[in-house]
Structure 1
Amino acid sequence: MGIVTISAPYGAAGPEVGPAVAARLGLPFHDRAIPAQVAGRLGVPVEEAEANDETVVRGLWRLVESLGTMPDPVGAVVPGAPLPDARAYRDQTERVLAEIAAGDGGVVLGRAGAMVLRDRTDALHVRLDGPRDRRLAAAVARSGRPRDEVASEMAANDRAREAYVRHFYRVDPAAAAHYHVVVDATALPLDTVVDIVVTAARGRGLGR
C-alpha cells in the first residue's frame, strides 16, 4: 500500500490534489485526523492541536510566552494558561506519520512528511508548487474571496510552513532534492496533476 506525502504551498492545490490522489489509489486521505490523534496523545483539545499544527510561526509562541498567556481556539487570550511545547506536537505528529506509513498507508498533505519519512522505500514524496502570482490567482479563483485578503493569507501561510520545516528539519521545503516528483500545479489542469502523481505512485508500487 505505502504512503504518498504531498508538500504544497498556498494556492498550489494541495487540498484538491491530495484527496483525489487518495481516491484513485484506494488509500485513506489523512489530514484533519492527524491533529485529532496528536491531541488525544497529548491530552489537549483538538483545537489546540490544530493551532499548533504545521502553520505555527515560532514568533507567535515567543510573543505568547512573553505575555504569559495562551490563545484559545477562537483567538482570545486565556491568562495563565500553560504554553504548549511545540516540539511535543512535532514529536507526536512524527509518530502518527510513522504509524500511518507502517500500517494501512495513505496520502498525507503537509506536516513535513517528506522529511519525516525520507528513509522509507514504500513512500512517494511529491512537491506541488508554482510561481507566486499564479498560485495567488488560482487561490482567488477557487475561493472567490478578495485578492488582497487572499494575498495576505497566502503570505502568512507560506512563511509559517517554511519556518516550521526550516526550524525543525533545517532544510528548505521547496528544494527538489527532498521529493521524487515536483509539479507546477499552476501550469497544468488539476486532473493532469492528479494523473502524474497517481502514475508515479503506481510506478513505486503504491496503492491498492
Structure 2
Amino acid sequence: MRVVTLSATYGTAGSVIGPAVAGRLGVPFVDRAIPGEVAEVLGCTLEEALARDDRAEHGLSMLLSGVMRLPAVTFGGLDVYLPGATPLPEDFVTHTERVIRRTARERGGVFLGRAAAIVLADHPGALHVRLDAPVARRVLQTATLTGVSEEEARRLVRDADRARTAYVRHFYRADPASATLYHLVLDSTTIPVDTCVEVIVTASTALS
C-alpha cells in the first residue's frame, strides 16, 4: 500500500494535486476523513470539526491565538468546541497521529497536511512531498483560482503560513519548510499541476 504525505503551503494546489495522486496510485485521499474520525471519538459533531478544519483559512487563523484556548481546543489541525471539557491540546494531537498511522498501515493513502511527513517519517516506503513557492506567485495563483482580490489573497496566504508553521513548531519542534523532512520539494505555481502529479506518482512507485 502506497503512502504519500503532502505538506502544501497556501496557494500551491495541494487540494487538487493530492486527490489526483491518490487516484493514480489507487489509494484514498486522506484529508476530511481525519477530522471525521477524531470528532467521533471526542464526541463533537462532524459539522464542528469540518467547519474548523486546518485546511480552511478561517480555522487556521484561530491557531494564531494560542494552542491552550479553552473551551475551544486546537488539535491535529482542528479547532473544536467541547462543552464542559478541558482536555490538553497534546491529547488531541496524539489521537490524530494514531488515526494517520493506522490509516497508513491499513489502507495506505495520500495525506494532506497535519505534519504527516513527521508523523509518518519512519513508515516504510512513504514518500514525503512539500509543495511550496515564493509568496508573490502563491498570492497570484490564489487570486486567480478563487476570484478574490490580490489583497485578500495575500492575507489568506500570510495567515495560513503563520498558522501552519506555528502548529508544527509548537507540537513537533520542527520547521515545516525544512527540505530535510521531504524527498521532493516542488513549485506547483511554476511546474504545471499535471506534471507535479506525474512526478509524485513516479517517485512513489519507485519507492515501493
Give TM-score scaled by structure 2 length.
0.86
Give the secondary-structure state (helix, strand or coil) at the position aligned to 1:59. Answer: coil
- 2:131 is paired with a residue whose SS is strand
**Structure number with higher relative contact order (C-alpha < 8 Å, ≥ 6 residues apart):** 1
| Structure 2 counterpart of 1:166, from 142, 157, 169 | 169
Q: Deviations over 1:174-205 (max 9, x none)?
A: 10000011111111111111111111011111
Separation in 2 of the partners of 1:181 and 1:162? 19
1:1-208 residue pairs with structure 2 within 5 A? 1-50=1-50, 51=52, 53=54, 55=60, 57=63, 59-62=65-68, 64-65=69-70, 70=72, 82-83=85-86, 85-205=88-208
- Give the match for residue 74 of structure 1: none
Look up the equivalent residue of 1:28 and give its one-letter code: P
2-structure distance, mates of 1:96, 1:161: 19
CA shift for structure 1 position 60 = 4.3
The 1:70–1:34 alpha-carbon spacing in structure 2 relative to 1, beyond 3 Å, is closer
Superposition deviation, residue 83 in structure 1: 4.7
Q: CA RMSD in A?
A: 2.1
1:147-170 Cα deviation digits (max 9, x unpaired): 111211211111111011000000
User: How much has 1:19 moved relative to structure 2?
Assistant: 0.4
Which structure has the larger Rg over C-alpha atoms?
1
Give the match for residue 78 of structure 2.
Answer: none
AA matched with 1:18: G
Per the alignment, in what secondary structure is the counterpart of residue 101 of structure 2? Answer: helix
Note the residue ranges of structure 1 that are not aligned, 5 or more in a row: 72-77
Does structure 2 retain, via aligned residues, the 8 Å contact 1:52–1:89?
Answer: no
Q: Residue 22 of structure 1 contacts residue 29 of structure 1 at CA under 8 Å; is this kept in 2?
A: yes
Partners of 1:60 and 1:105 lie apart in 2 by: 33
Offset at 1:112?
Answer: 0.3
How far apart, in 2, do the equivalents of 1:17 and 1:52 lie?
A: 18
Indicate the percent of aligned positions where both proteins have the same amino acid.
46
CA deviations 1:8-65 (Å, max 9, x no partner) are 1100110110000001111111111110101111112224434374735152455x54
Change (3 A) 1:87 1:48: farther
Q: State whether residues 52 and 86 of structure 1, in contact with CA within 8 Å, keep that contact through their aligned partners in structure 2.
A: no
Count of residue pairs the alignment pairs up: 194
Mapped to 2, the partners of 1:83 and 1:155 lie a distance apart of 30
Q: Which residue of 2 aligns with 1:75?
A: none
